[in-house]
Structure 1
């Protein structure tokens, strides 16, 4: 696919007022960004649950997608503190981030919980943003084996639908530099092959996160379908730099096709 995806997770770095200002600042820029408005570049944002509604309001009239940083794997009912996939979809969110390394490490989330959340998201019409990656630095082929196993586990029993796979080697999250280009290529190619082999995942994407920033998309070329940004994107101007890079890659892919 020629479309290039750029995602941003705000985690809980911003309070409500700061997040609202950031949404407005980014929205003003993407409204005049040809690649985003045309759909050549897909931009999504995952703020905190409380920030989802103001984000949706700020990006009204743009193709920017808004999602939750997590989602319940349970249906509506007696599950205090949870947010269901159905409610996220009801308010206008279209993405659910699932299986992030911090959820696994800090809150003990299991592969079974990741799979139940993926099923719930797809059943509700949300696009799962599946965060996948090895915990320790290892050889690329070994990392690819781990990543594909995580992907297959997450999709076990899930309804058909597109997924966005964010390959984030845990050891690279928050690091000064991303994983090496050759390492990313090997794992991303394996993940894409697994998706391509599954007819239920037509249109799915593989993006890279973990110290992602400018220059990475250019260096990786067709190895990935985009990037998943963290703190680098707190500066809207810096985010636009990556959107411009994504636009160039999308144009190259369009010419090649």
Structure 2
């Protein structure tokens, strides 16, 4: 059946009350929209830590809920950290790993990303593994760098015999927070190569490649043949914008534009 994966990270834009209000609107939208009801679109939402329990209750049956980060360790004297074990215990299904902001603002290295990807998979969470090139490159070079990041991030999990679904979020760093996403032709060229690689990861079956980096309504229609969905930020702050993207997913799915594999 045709299927798209649509995720939203709220970063730290909303307070708790606003997050609850937004989740209620999205829950109502998801329960009424044919793209979700008929299984053409799968949703996940990543609020701030403090809003995770509320989001889990409100979005139950509509969207999976996740966390924006996790500790490399599962327990111990790590003040301020949140473990994957606790995130999973609450009922979350996904967790962001390796976002460009974590790298640039908090100094996360490839070693840290590798350890966190292992922690996610060790606790039954699907890492939303963020990859992307720092500056615009030829699309083959950008894809090569993303594939390097994917293989490196999963190396420790693979060595430990851990497997599971991985959601690769392709976010060119130069497009994050920009007024427009990368050009559709560029996204398609990079994602087609990255997606081919991810589909060949036999120890991480059912993995997906979604595009983030200022993703907006209208983009899915332009890149649908080469991605499994979108990872949305501020362009999904208005539930009406998310509804427009679900409309796109429904139109593409019912037209048989591409198929979930």
Give the TM-score range, shorter chain: over 0.9
Deviation at 1:102, TM superposition (A): 0.3
Deviation at 1:254, TM superposition (A): 7.6
Match of 2:143 in 1: 144
- Size of the aligned set, in residue pairs, is 256
Match of 1:95 in 2: 94
Partner SS, residue 199 of structure 1: coil
1:26 aligns with 2:26: yes
1:52-96 CA-partner distances (Å, limit 9, x unpaired): 001011112x23010000111112111111111111010011101
- Give 1:66-145 correspondences, 5 Å limit: 66-145=65-144
Flag the 1:230–1:132 CA change in 2: closer, same or farther, 3 A. Answer: same
- Give 1:95-244 correspondences, 5 Å limit: 95-158=94-157, 159-244=162-247
User: 2: distance between equivalents of 1:89 and 1:240?
Assistant: 28
Structure 1, unaligned runs of 5 or more? none
Whether contact under 8 Å (2:225, 2:257) holds in the other structure is: no
Whether contact under 8 Å (1:6, 1:227) holds in the other structure is: yes
User: 2: distance between equivalents of 1:196 and 1:235?
Assistant: 33
1:27-49 CA-partner distances (Å, limit 9, x unpaired): 11111112213332011100000
What TM-score does the superposition give when structure 2 sets the normalisation length?
0.94
1:5-33 CA-partner distances (Å, limit 9, x unpaired): 11111000000111111111111111111
User: 1: distance between equivalents of 2:39 and 2:259?
Assistant: 18
User: 1: distance between equivalents of 2:129 and 2:39?
Assistant: 22
1:90-140 CA-partner distances (Å, limit 9, x unpaired): 001110111000000000001111111111111111111001101111211
User: 2: distance between equivalents of 1:253 and 1:11?
Assistant: 33
Structure 2, unaligned runs of 5 or more? none
Deviation at 1:191, TM superposition (A): 1.4
Match of 1:7 in 2: 7
Whether contact under 8 Å (2:70, 2:95) holds in the other structure is: yes
User: 1: distance between equivalents of 2:254 and 2:148?
Assistant: 33
